[in-house]
Structure 1
Amino acid sequence: MTKDLYTSDSAKMRFYHFANLVSLAASDGQITELEENLLRRFKRKLSISDSDYEKIMKDPSGYSILSIGSKDQRLEYLYDLLKVIYVDGTMDEVEALLIRRYAIGLGYSDVQASEILKKSIKLFSGAFSFDAYQNYIENDF
């Protein structure tokens, strides 16, 4: 079962999801205006406080992607984040780019990350459980 990103128990998970996204956006040396606008949307979608937002934005290099040993857990992190993105029913191009970078940061190859993103877009246009998502994604790995 996936963690519910909207419960108080998952505040730490939401914080680290957001911190990881900021770190990825800053990985090329700067956060562009387009990336910052996207991060503000993620701030809202992940219920990140203003103080946490400022703390993370001030020093994004202080947060690296959480070390995840399990293939299932990596996929679950992506699934949780995709659920947040698809709250409004769509994923735009910038969100897709950041998710792809996040997948690579989690340890997927460039090809795997692209394929996961392609499949995820298809799946998230409807409503699927994590188990259905995991089975669908892992059929090719």
Structure 2
Amino acid sequence: MAISDLYSSGQHKQEIGHFANIVKIARADGKITDGEKELLIRAGKNLNITLEEFSLILNNPEKYPINPPINYDERIERLYRLTKMILIDGEAKLIEVALMRKIAVGLHFSIKRAEKICDEAIHLVANNNNLNDFINAIKKVDKD
């Protein structure tokens, strides 16, 4: 097995874990809206999730670990995508925010800062900040 195969496999496991987190957020309020379904389909394609994997993850997202990336910016980008899912229906429900905080800790953000980071993430996405602005703002909040 080539090194590239190992990396690809590890990368795909991270993508599956991230997709499972997005599904958990979408399902947190007990239903998946049409907007959430559209975002899940787009996210699945972007993360190279096969149709079979999509179905398995959609039915049982708890089965898949978070598998956070090592790169700090990539972890922030994952937080950005999760935040977009939370706000897809225009509001951040308490159950979704609570789950987001747990996932943020799983993405290796400090337990002490997870609440502040998630609150800022919601504020940034709600105000249509782009990914680059989001990354820079989250880095500032994570240092305070």
TM-score range, shorter chain: 0.5 to 0.7
Deviations, residues 14-63 of structure 1 (Å, cap 9, x unaligned): 754342356x79xxxxxxxx84715x4596241269965652345733x2
Checking the alignment, whether the CA contact within 8 Å between 1:19 and 1:60 is kept in structure 2 is yes
- Whose helix proportion is higher, 1 or 2? 2
CA distance change for structure 1 residues 17 and 99 in 2, over 3 Å: closer, same or farther?
same
- Equivalent residue for 1:87? 88
- Percent identity, please: 28
Q: Secondary structure at the match of 1:139?
A: helix
Matches within 5 A, 1:98-113: 98-113=99-114
Total equivalences in the alignment: 119
Q: How far does the alpha carbon of each residue in 1:103-141 deviate from its partner, in whole angstroms, 9 at most, with x for none?
A: 011111212211111112222221111111111111131
Question: In 2 relative to 1, CA 50–59 (structure 1 residues): closer, same or farther, beyond 3 Å?
Answer: same
Q: Which runs of 4+ in 1 moved over 4 A?
A: 12-15, 48-54
Post-superposition offset of 1:84: 2.4
Distance 1:136 1:81 in 2: 16
1:64 and 2:58 aligned: no
64 and 116 in structure 1: CA distance in 2 versus 1, 3 angstrom threshold: same
Q: Which residue of 2 aligns with 1:46?
A: 40
Q: In the alignment, is residue 135 of structure 1 matched against residue 129 of structure 2?
A: no
Code of the residue aligned with 1:46 in structure 2: it is L
Alignment check: 8 A CA contact 1:21 1:98 kept: no
Counterpart residue number, 2:30: 37
SS at match of 2:104: helix
The unaligned stretches of length 5 or more in structure 1 are 1-11, 26-33
* TM-score in terms of structure 2 length: 0.64
TM-score, normalised via structure 1 length? 0.65
**CA distance, structure 1, for counterparts of residue 86 and residue 121 of structure 2:** 11
